[in-house]
Amino acid sequence: METWPIQVIQAFNRSKFGRDETKNYELIIYKPIQPILQEGPQCGIVALAMAMSNQSTNTTVQSIFDKAKELLYTIQGELFDARVIPQLYDSDANHEPCIKKGHRAHWLLVHGHLKEITSSPSNEYDLVLVQHGKSKFLGAFSLLDLFQSNGQLLEADPKRRIETEYCLPKDGSLQETLCNLFIAI
Protein backbone atom coordinates (compact mmCIF):
# COMPACT_ATOMS: atom_id res chain seq x y z
CA MET A 1 0.00 0.00 0.00
CA GLU A 2 2.90 2.34 0.66
CA THR A 3 3.76 2.29 -3.06
CA TRP A 4 0.22 3.13 -4.21
CA PRO A 5 -0.58 6.59 -5.58
CA ILE A 6 -2.07 8.88 -2.90
CA GLN A 7 -5.46 9.00 -4.69
CA VAL A 8 -5.71 5.19 -4.51
CA ILE A 9 -4.81 5.16 -0.79
CA GLN A 10 -7.45 7.80 -0.07
CA ALA A 11 -10.10 5.97 -2.11
CA PHE A 12 -9.28 2.66 -0.38
CA ASN A 13 -9.51 4.27 3.07
CA ARG A 14 -13.01 5.62 2.19
CA SER A 15 -14.16 2.24 0.84
CA LYS A 16 -16.35 -0.28 2.64
CA PHE A 17 -13.32 -2.53 3.27
CA GLY A 18 -10.88 0.26 4.13
CA ARG A 19 -11.05 -0.33 7.90
CA ASP A 20 -10.84 -4.13 7.73
CA GLU A 21 -7.30 -4.91 8.90
CA THR A 22 -7.72 -8.64 8.22
CA LYS A 23 -7.53 -8.12 4.46
CA ASN A 24 -4.57 -7.22 2.28
CA TYR A 25 -4.84 -5.77 -1.20
CA GLU A 26 -2.63 -5.67 -4.24
CA LEU A 27 -2.96 -2.89 -6.79
CA ILE A 28 -3.41 -4.77 -10.08
CA ILE A 29 -3.96 -1.81 -12.38
CA TYR A 30 -4.64 1.90 -12.10
CA LYS A 31 -4.84 4.41 -14.92
CA PRO A 32 -5.23 7.95 -13.55
CA ILE A 33 -8.18 9.82 -15.05
CA GLN A 34 -8.78 13.56 -14.92
CA PRO A 35 -12.24 13.91 -13.32
CA ILE A 36 -14.96 15.80 -15.18
CA LEU A 37 -17.96 16.95 -13.15
CA GLN A 38 -21.29 16.59 -14.88
CA GLU A 39 -23.82 19.37 -15.47
CA GLY A 40 -27.34 18.00 -15.50
CA PRO A 41 -28.16 14.39 -16.40
CA GLN A 42 -24.95 13.74 -18.36
CA CYS A 43 -23.24 11.02 -16.29
CA GLY A 44 -22.91 8.59 -19.21
CA ILE A 45 -21.54 11.22 -21.55
CA VAL A 46 -19.11 12.43 -18.86
CA ALA A 47 -17.94 8.82 -18.17
CA LEU A 48 -17.32 8.36 -21.88
CA ALA A 49 -15.46 11.70 -22.13
CA MET A 50 -13.22 10.68 -19.18
CA ALA A 51 -12.48 7.35 -20.88
CA MET A 52 -11.72 9.05 -24.18
CA SER A 53 -9.39 11.57 -22.50
CA ASN A 54 -7.22 8.63 -21.46
CA GLN A 55 -6.96 7.61 -25.12
CA SER A 56 -5.27 10.91 -26.10
CA THR A 57 -8.23 12.03 -28.16
CA ASN A 58 -9.59 15.55 -28.30
CA THR A 59 -13.13 14.45 -27.39
CA THR A 60 -15.17 16.76 -25.17
CA VAL A 61 -18.40 16.32 -23.23
CA GLN A 62 -20.02 18.81 -25.61
CA SER A 63 -18.94 16.96 -28.76
CA ILE A 64 -20.22 13.63 -27.39
CA PHE A 65 -23.50 15.29 -26.31
CA ASP A 66 -23.94 16.89 -29.74
CA LYS A 67 -23.39 13.55 -31.52
CA ALA A 68 -25.67 11.63 -29.11
CA LYS A 69 -28.40 14.23 -29.62
CA GLU A 70 -27.97 14.10 -33.41
CA LEU A 71 -28.33 10.29 -33.28
CA LEU A 72 -31.44 10.61 -31.03
CA TYR A 73 -29.79 8.77 -28.11
CA THR A 74 -30.42 11.67 -25.72
CA ILE A 75 -32.40 14.85 -25.17
CA GLN A 76 -30.59 16.47 -22.19
CA GLY A 77 -27.56 14.21 -21.92
CA GLU A 78 -29.23 11.19 -20.29
CA LEU A 79 -28.29 7.77 -21.66
CA PHE A 80 -30.48 4.75 -20.92
CA ASP A 81 -28.86 2.34 -23.37
CA ALA A 82 -25.53 0.63 -22.62
CA ARG A 83 -25.41 -0.57 -26.20
CA VAL A 84 -24.38 2.95 -27.19
CA ILE A 85 -21.97 3.79 -24.37
CA PRO A 86 -19.04 2.59 -19.64
CA GLN A 87 -20.48 0.88 -16.53
CA LEU A 88 -23.94 1.58 -15.12
CA TYR A 89 -25.24 0.98 -11.59
CA ASP A 90 -27.79 2.29 -9.08
CA SER A 91 -26.14 5.09 -7.10
CA ASP A 92 -26.88 5.52 -3.38
CA ALA A 93 -26.71 8.90 -1.59
CA ASN A 94 -22.96 8.37 -1.01
CA HIS A 95 -22.54 7.23 -4.66
CA GLU A 96 -21.79 3.61 -3.62
CA PRO A 97 -23.68 0.88 -5.54
CA CYS A 98 -27.17 0.13 -4.22
CA ILE A 99 -30.24 -1.89 -5.15
CA LYS A 100 -33.08 0.38 -6.37
CA LYS A 101 -34.31 -1.49 -9.51
CA GLY A 102 -32.78 1.16 -11.80
CA HIS A 103 -34.49 4.17 -10.23
CA ARG A 104 -31.09 5.70 -9.32
CA ALA A 105 -29.23 4.64 -12.46
CA HIS A 106 -25.83 6.33 -12.82
CA TRP A 107 -22.80 5.83 -15.07
CA LEU A 108 -19.21 5.46 -13.92
CA LEU A 109 -15.81 4.65 -15.37
CA VAL A 110 -13.80 1.76 -13.91
CA HIS A 111 -10.07 2.42 -14.32
CA GLY A 112 -8.37 0.40 -11.63
CA HIS A 113 -8.51 -2.85 -9.64
CA LEU A 114 -7.50 -3.73 -6.08
CA LYS A 115 -7.30 -7.51 -5.60
CA GLU A 116 -7.92 -8.84 -2.08
CA ILE A 117 -5.17 -11.42 -1.57
CA THR A 118 -5.69 -12.88 1.95
CA SER A 119 -9.18 -14.38 2.08
CA SER A 120 -9.86 -16.58 -0.92
CA PRO A 121 -9.24 -16.78 -4.66
CA SER A 122 -12.75 -15.39 -5.31
CA ASN A 123 -13.48 -11.77 -6.16
CA GLU A 124 -15.80 -11.37 -3.15
CA TYR A 125 -13.71 -8.60 -1.52
CA ASP A 126 -12.11 -7.07 -4.62
CA LEU A 127 -12.44 -3.34 -5.20
CA VAL A 128 -12.58 -1.40 -8.44
CA LEU A 129 -11.27 2.15 -8.72
CA VAL A 130 -13.90 4.37 -10.28
CA GLN A 131 -14.61 7.90 -11.41
CA HIS A 132 -18.04 9.37 -12.05
CA GLY A 133 -19.44 12.76 -12.88
CA LYS A 134 -20.75 13.65 -9.41
CA SER A 135 -17.40 13.69 -7.60
CA LYS A 136 -13.87 14.84 -8.36
CA PHE A 137 -12.55 12.15 -6.00
CA LEU A 138 -11.50 8.63 -6.97
CA GLY A 139 -13.81 5.95 -5.56
CA ALA A 140 -13.10 2.36 -4.53
CA PHE A 141 -16.28 0.27 -4.87
CA SER A 142 -16.87 -3.37 -4.12
CA LEU A 143 -16.74 -5.28 -7.40
CA LEU A 144 -19.42 -7.67 -6.14
CA ASP A 145 -21.72 -4.79 -5.11
CA LEU A 146 -21.23 -3.17 -8.51
CA PHE A 147 -22.13 -6.39 -10.36
CA GLN A 148 -25.20 -6.91 -8.17
CA SER A 149 -26.32 -3.31 -8.63
CA ASN A 150 -25.88 -3.51 -12.40
CA GLY A 151 -27.73 -6.84 -12.57
CA GLN A 152 -30.91 -5.42 -11.07
CA LEU A 153 -31.35 -2.42 -13.38
CA LEU A 154 -34.87 -3.30 -14.45
CA GLU A 155 -36.87 -0.11 -14.90
CA ALA A 156 -36.48 3.63 -15.18
CA ASP A 157 -37.62 5.68 -12.21
CA PRO A 158 -41.41 6.17 -12.63
CA LYS A 159 -40.89 9.94 -12.13
CA ARG A 160 -38.59 10.00 -15.16
CA ARG A 161 -41.06 8.01 -17.25
CA ILE A 162 -43.71 10.72 -17.03
CA GLU A 163 -41.26 13.52 -17.84
CA THR A 164 -40.97 14.12 -21.56
CA GLU A 165 -37.47 15.59 -21.32
CA TYR A 166 -35.75 12.19 -21.18
CA CYS A 167 -34.99 9.75 -23.97
CA LEU A 168 -36.15 6.48 -22.35
CA PRO A 169 -36.92 3.03 -23.72
CA LYS A 170 -40.54 3.05 -24.90
CA ASP A 171 -41.82 0.71 -22.16
CA GLY A 172 -39.54 2.09 -19.42
CA SER A 173 -37.83 -1.29 -19.10
CA LEU A 174 -34.04 -1.31 -18.75
CA GLN A 175 -33.62 -5.08 -19.02
CA GLU A 176 -32.51 -5.03 -22.66
CA THR A 177 -30.67 -1.71 -22.58
CA LEU A 178 -28.79 -1.60 -19.24
CA CYS A 179 -29.22 -4.70 -17.06
CA ASN A 180 -26.07 -6.91 -16.95
CA LEU A 181 -24.35 -4.83 -19.64
CA PHE A 182 -20.80 -3.48 -19.28
CA ILE A 183 -18.83 -1.50 -21.85
CA ALA A 184 -15.11 -2.21 -22.30
CA ILE A 185 -13.04 0.56 -23.89
- CA dihedral over 175, 185, 126, 129, signed as positive or negative: negative
Interatomic CA distance for residues 88 and 85, integer angstroms: 10
Specify whether 179 is catalytic: no
Q: What is the C-alpha R_g of the chain?
A: 17
Residue in 43, 98, 167, 179 annotated catalytic: 43
CA dist 82 and 149 (Å) reads 15
CA distance 49 to 46: 5
Question: Which positions are catalytic?
Answer: 43
